Amino acid sequence: MMQKEIRLRGGAMRLVTLTVLTIFIFVSSPFGQTQRAPFREQVNLDFGTYRGQAELQVETPTLIRGKTFTCRVTFNNSREGRYFYNPFFNNWIDLPAQLAVFDRNREYIGNLFWQADLKMARGPEDWVYVGKGFVGTSFKMIAGHVPGTRYEKSKELLPKGSYYLQMIYYGVFLHPRHELDSKQERDKWDELDNKEMFRSNLVKVELTDE
């Protein structure tokens, strides 16, 4: 179960609850999964006329290895209304961000999102219009599971200790919804799609056994 919400200017909120085929999000994207990321504090969106910031919340700072926990991410658009790509993190298409995990020494471990190679092509319906306000979603993860690393099997999870979680967004999140006419525009956005644009706050968690 995923909850998706859009809060519009003036405080009005639209909350949408969807039932999806998989309860847990195991998703990967070429815009995140293949990119190692250095440890860095929060960076707000400041690109062209785009302004905004992302916030990551974890239900509890203490996580039990092998058990599920809930994350919530919101993006606050502080400028005029825009279309943003896949802000609800539909795992059947490319994702606009990765959920990075760093160890206590601030070394990058991997991306908590993973997805099989089979994905659907993007369509106009994959962009969501967000007015001046925020858009958000929540999802469940398995503590200690890091897809694409030695810690992706249930028998070998991340060891006990302190870790940092952070959402890292890429240019594809800002990719225009309309068809790009010129090759120059297409080349520009092909390059920007894979460029880091902004980051959420860092969330420190403690991984323990029962």
Predicted TM-score (pTM) of the model is 0.83
d(CA 199, CA 45): 8
Which pLDDT value is given to residue 116?
Answer: 54
Which pLDDT value is given to residue 117?
Answer: 61
Kindly give the pairing relationship between strand 62-64 and strand 203-208. parallel
Which pLDDT value is given to residue 34?
Answer: 55
42 CB-near residues (< 8 Å, 6+ apart): 53, 166, 199, 200, 201, 202
In angstroms, the Cα distances linking 70 to 53, 83, 85, 125, 168 are: 20, 26, 23, 26, 18
Kindly give the pairing relationship between strand 161-170 and strand 203-208. antiparallel
Which pLDDT value is given to residue 20?
Answer: 32
Digitized pLDDT (tens) for each residue of the chain, 210 residues in all: 444 555 444 444 444 333 332 323 333 344 444 578 999 999 999 999 999 999 999 999 999 999 999 999 999 999 999 999 999 998 888 899 999 999 999 999 999 987 656 567 788 899 999 999 999 999 899 999 999 899 987 779 999 999 999 999 999 999 988 777 788 778 887 888 889 999 999 999 999 997
Q: What tokens appear for 189 in the block?
A: 């956005």
Domains of the chain: 2-208 (2.60.40.1930)
Which pLDDT value is given to residue 22?
Answer: 31
Which pLDDT value is given to residue 4?
Answer: 54
Which pLDDT value is given to residue 194?
Answer: 87
Cβ contact 138:2 at 8 Å: yes
d(CA 171, CA 188): 11
d(CA 38, CA 35): 10
The CA-CA-CA angle for residues 174, 177, 171, to 5°, reads 20
Identify the CA nearest to 62 among candidates 205, 168, 185, 210: 205
Which pLDDT value is given to residue 135?
Answer: 94
Q: What tokens appear for 94 in the block?
A: 């490319």
d(CA 12, CA 10): 6
Q: What tokens appear for 61 in the block?
A: 């700072």
d(CA 1, CA 20): 6
Which pLDDT value is given to residue 74?
Answer: 96
Which pLDDT value is given to residue 190?
Answer: 80
